[in-house]
A and B are shown apart, each in its own frame.
Chain A
Amino acid sequence: MATGKPAAAHRDWLGLKKEPPPRRRFALAVLSFVLPLALWSAISYVPWLWHPLVRITSAGDVEYFSTGMEVPRANFERENQKAAAEKTDPAQGYRVNPPYLPPPHAVARAFVTAFQTPPRLPGEPWLYQSLGHSIRTILWGFIASSILGVPLGILSGAYRLFSWIQEPFIEFFRYLPAPAFAALCVAVLGIYDPPKIAIIFIGTFFQQVLVIANTVRRVDPTFVEAAQTLGASGPSLLWRVVIPAAVVEIYADMRILLGWAWTYLIVAEVVGTMSGITYFINQQARYRNFPNVYAAIAMIGIIGLSTDFALAWLGRWFFPWKRASRRVAKPTGLQRVRRPKGVPTREVKAA
Chain B
Amino acid sequence: MTPPELTPPQVPLRDLVPDYRELSPEVAARFAHLRERPVILSIRGLEKSFGHGGSAARALQDMSFDVHRREFVCIVGPSGCGKSTLVRIVAGLDEATGGAVLLDGQEVTGPGPDRGMVFQGYTLFPWLTVRRNVMFGLRERGQPPRAAEATAQRWLEMVGLEGFADAYPHELSGGMKQRVAIARALANQPRILIMDEPFGALDAQTRAQMQSYLLQIWKNVEVTILFITHDLDEAAYLSDRVVVMGANPGRVVETIENPVPRPRRPDQFISRSFLSLKRRLTELIQPHDEAEDAGTLPISKLTDAADTVE
Contact = CB atoms under 8 A, between A and B. Distances in A.
Interface of A: 222-223, 225-233, 236, 240-241, 244-245, 247-248, 319-321, 325-335, 337-346, 348, 351
Contact of A319 (B127, B155, B220): B127
A334 B176 contact: yes
A332 B170 contact: no
B36 interface: yes
A331 B209 CA distance: 13
B149 to A, nearest CB: 15
A236 B140 CA distance: 8
Contacts of A334: 160, 175-176, 179, 206, 209-210, 213
A229 B127 contact: no
Given A225-B117, A330-B173, 16 more contacts: A226-B125, A229-B91, A229-B194, A230-B136, A232-B137, A233-B111, A244-B127, A245-B125, A325-B171, A328-B171, A329-B172, A333-B176, A334-B209, A334-B210, A346-B221, A348-B222
Given A229-B115, A342-B154, A351 B170 contact: no
Interface in B8-50: 36-38
Contacts of A331: 173, 203
Nearest to A246: B127
B93 A351 contact: no
Interface of B: 36-38, 69-70, 91-93, 110-113, 115-117, 119, 121, 123, 125-128, 136-137, 140-141, 154-155, 157-161, 163-164, 167-176, 179, 184-185, 188, 194, 203, 205-206, 209-210, 213, 216-217, 220-222
A325 to B, nearest CB: 5
17 contacts: A225-B119, A226-B125, A229-B116, A230-B113, A231-B112, A247-B127, A329-B167, A329-B171, A329-B173, A333-B175, A335-B209, A337-B161, A338-B160, A340-B157, A340-B216, A340-B217, A344-B158
Among A222, A226, A319, A325, max chain B CB count under 10 A is at A226
Given A329-B176, A334-B213, A228 B111 contact: yes
B167 A327 contact: yes
B141 A231 contact: yes
A222 B88 CA distance: 11
Given A223-B123, A321-B168, A345-B220, A230 B184 contact: yes
Contact of B206 (A231, A333, A338, A344): A333
Nearest to B194: A229
A338 B176 CA distance: 12
Given A231-B140, A321-B170, A225 B70 contact: no
B168 A320 contact: yes
Contacts of A227: 125, 136, 140
Contacts of B217: 340
Contacts of A342: 154, 157-158
B201 to A, nearest CB: 13
Contacts of B188: 230-231
Nearest to A319: B127
A226 to B, nearest CB: 4
A226 B168 contact: no
Contact of B205 (A325, A332, A348): A332
A330 to B, nearest CB: 7
Contact of A225 (B93, B163, B168): B93
Given A241-B125, A334-B213, A229 B111 contact: yes
Nearest to B70: A348
B140 A240 contact: yes
B158 A343 contact: yes
Contacts of B140: 227, 230-232, 236, 240
A38 B68 CA distance: 78
A244 B124 CA distance: 13
Contacts of B176: 329, 333-334, 337
Please give me the 3 A-B residue pairs with the lowest Cβ-Cβ distance, nearest first: A231-B113, A230-B137, A333-B175
A327 B125 CA distance: 18
B160 A339 contact: yes
Nearest to A346: B222
B189 to A, nearest CB: 9
Contacts of A245: 125-127
A139 to B, nearest CB: 28
B220 A343 contact: yes
Contacts of B171: 325-329
B119 A222 contact: yes
Contacts of A233: 111
B185 A230 contact: yes
A319 B155 CA distance: 26
A340 B158 contact: yes
Nearest to B69: A351
Contacts of A328: 171
A329 B158 CA distance: 19
A228 B108 CA distance: 14
A325 B168 CA distance: 8
Among B70, B112, B113, B123, max chain A CB count under 10 A is at B123
A351 B159 contact: no
A332 B209 CA distance: 10
B168 A340 contact: no
B125 A223 contact: yes
A222 B157 CA distance: 26
